[in-house]
Structure 1
Amino acid sequence: MPLEVSAEITRAHHEEWARVVASLARRFGDLDLAEDAAAEAFATAVERWPTEGTPPNPGAWLTTTANRKAIDRIRRESKRDHKHREAAMAHDDSRPEPLGAIDDDRLRLVFTCCHPALAMEARVALTLRMVGGLTVPEIARAFLVQESAMARRLTRAKAKIAVARIPYRVPAAADLPARVSGVLGVLFLVFNEGYLATGPDTDPVRHDLTAEAIRLTRMVRDLLPEDGEVAGLLALMLLTEARRTARVSATGELVPLDEQDRGAWDVALVAEGHRLVRERLDSGVAPGRYQVMAAISAVHTSARDMRDTDWSQVVALYDQLVRLDPSPIIALNRAIALAELDGPDVALATVDRLREVLGGYHAYHATRADLLRRLGRSEESRSAYEQAIELAGNTAETAYLKRRRDQLA
């Protein structure tokens, strides 16, 4: 590509991207359509301008091309249902073309979006949006960032795919290991959104998301049976999903682990999760993040009730997890376990040190409220509950927090 043409495309990208997207969004009322059409227009510019020359008005060219791409997309979508009906009526006995290493459409797209050329956070966020179907607010809450910041991150990721000409293609079997960490990150966040939905207008637990995340993770395990982190994530999902029916009461309130009816847990899922954890421990290979998290869940699901939980083992596992993933959320979860082992005062000191980074996270305030309640500091606990309620989006969790607040003296 001639340097002057490359520079012109880059300049047009920086100057015109937001304007083109805004123009299309106003016209069609669909931000996702606008972003996709703009990305296609820039990709066309990358292909054509080096040979045909830069147009006199690059911005107008991009806007016109993006409009045409958007209209073509709308027309294709309107014809899709009709084509699907026609396809269903046709009977084809011919052997299908091979699909490569992955024969599930959604999983193939997950691997495709997790291209190593994109930053890890961009890979995960973009795949959650395009494949997982999560909204921008849901993804923003998963990353603990502002909605506007996440929208910009997604736009930049789509633009990079277009400008850098990153191909949307089925990865070969040799490409899978390099992309698996991003894929596992996507599946984990999709599962978490189903496990405890963050939006106030959705069901508190979305079985459709947890079931799909488990299905896809099983397929990844079939593809990479020797990958310990794949097995660890599957075990973690199974042990968490086993408790699903006991996690929300008949009145729509979240039921915490210490109050759950353990007889209502799915024993088959628990057994499968425990088997996977034992297999990884027996392998003698140093565990990764998901494997340690699964081991923590295995300790919890092995206890007959909360009092039988081996908290010293849980804290030891969290110590190991912190070394692998020194994130503030892991530190917060470790503090919850530490409260059971060394008391709420020790745990509170740890939690208070996380205020600067987790002050906008509802679980931080909910944890702090519970510790203050156990220490008899009711007014401070009430204030912390109020902050947690204000930040929480899950309806079942909000109902639980309000009840706990109202029980304070």
Structure 2
Amino acid sequence: MKFFLIAGEPSGDQLGAALMAGLRELVPAAEFVGIGGEAMTAQGLDSLFSMGELSVMGIWEVLPKYRHLKRRIAETAARVVAENPDALIGIDSPDFCLRVARAARADRPGLRVIHYVAPSVWAWRPGRARKMAEVVDHVLAILPFEPPLMQAAGMTCDFVGHPIATAQVAGPDDAALFRAGHGIAPDAPVVLCLPGSRGGEVGRLLPRFGEALTELRHHVPDMQVVLPTVAGVAGQVRHVVAQWPVRPLIVENGDQKRAAFAAADLALAASGTVSLDLAANRVPMVIGYDMAPLSRMLVGMLLKTDTVTLVNLVSDTRTVPEFLGRDCRPAPMAQALRRLLDDPQARQAQLDAMDLTMDRLGKGGEAPGLRAARSVLRAVTGPR
């Protein structure tokens, strides 16, 4: 069997790699073509072009790259038609993946299309599900409340579990070694600063996060800020923090990042799946996020929920404070961080919500990559 996979972001690359491993376990002769990053390449994918070309978010951010992305959509769709796979599997990145699917289906109407990660129709633009159903047969959902929404729009859908539920996390010994290795006292508060993995996010959020953490340090003078980052924005991060009164410890190595999460007492983070990484490590958090002005205005008009933080949504609580758009300001974020350090009840409420979130995402069950692979095979071999 042959599968054409498309991932456009690091999180999608990880999902794709786990899915490839699951498919190969069930179908050892499975073949893979498409677009992915380092994780999918390690599973044997020869990416058609760099996945980084697709890592663009927000209307304002996409506009300068629109013509290039349009060419890439046409090139990718043509390759899908030429490869004639058993299924085209788009992994998140719906703006790109669904356009490729539509273009490929125009030439090959019988192409079976699967999409991994349901669009967040529960948050905004619910009509996307109906439009998606025009070109997608089956959806692999990573949040437990999504299948009914996809099925109502006319697609089949399985909840396959979220990868964070079975991810390896560092333990207390790793945390102690991390502190000792970086000269951090055992009782000094460690605060993670997580401004996102895209250049635009870093540019907008990191200066505000720095001001919030500087204010927090006036009340917690012995705290150590740790800033995990990725290679693509590491230079930008170092440039921004060079002028901070609070000098963060920047870590890029994967093992060091995992140890940092285990050692952390608190986090100030961009909105996104990182909230689930923090939940898996039981690190209380404050969420801040903003977009370019045009994107912020349009998303604000279309938003259908009172929270965008996944821990809040999956646990059906509102224990994680959010500061979004114009509310993403240093002083309120610093105050919320301070409360999590000073108020045991607020801290415990988050920890309880995190534990519930992990249970609902599939903790203790079969690996999501294998569950997703079984779902794909059922969709491919089942009736049209």
Shared fold by TM > 0.5?
A: no
| Class of the TM-score when normalised by the shorter of the 2 chains | under 0.3
TM-score, L = length of structure 2: 0.26
Q: Which has the higher helix share?
A: 1
Q: Which has the higher strand share?
A: 2
User: For the pair shown, which has the larger CA radius of gyration, 1 or 2?
Assistant: 1
Compare relative contact order (CA 8 Å, sep 6+) and give the higher one, 1 or 2. Answer: 2
TM-score, L = length of structure 1: 0.25
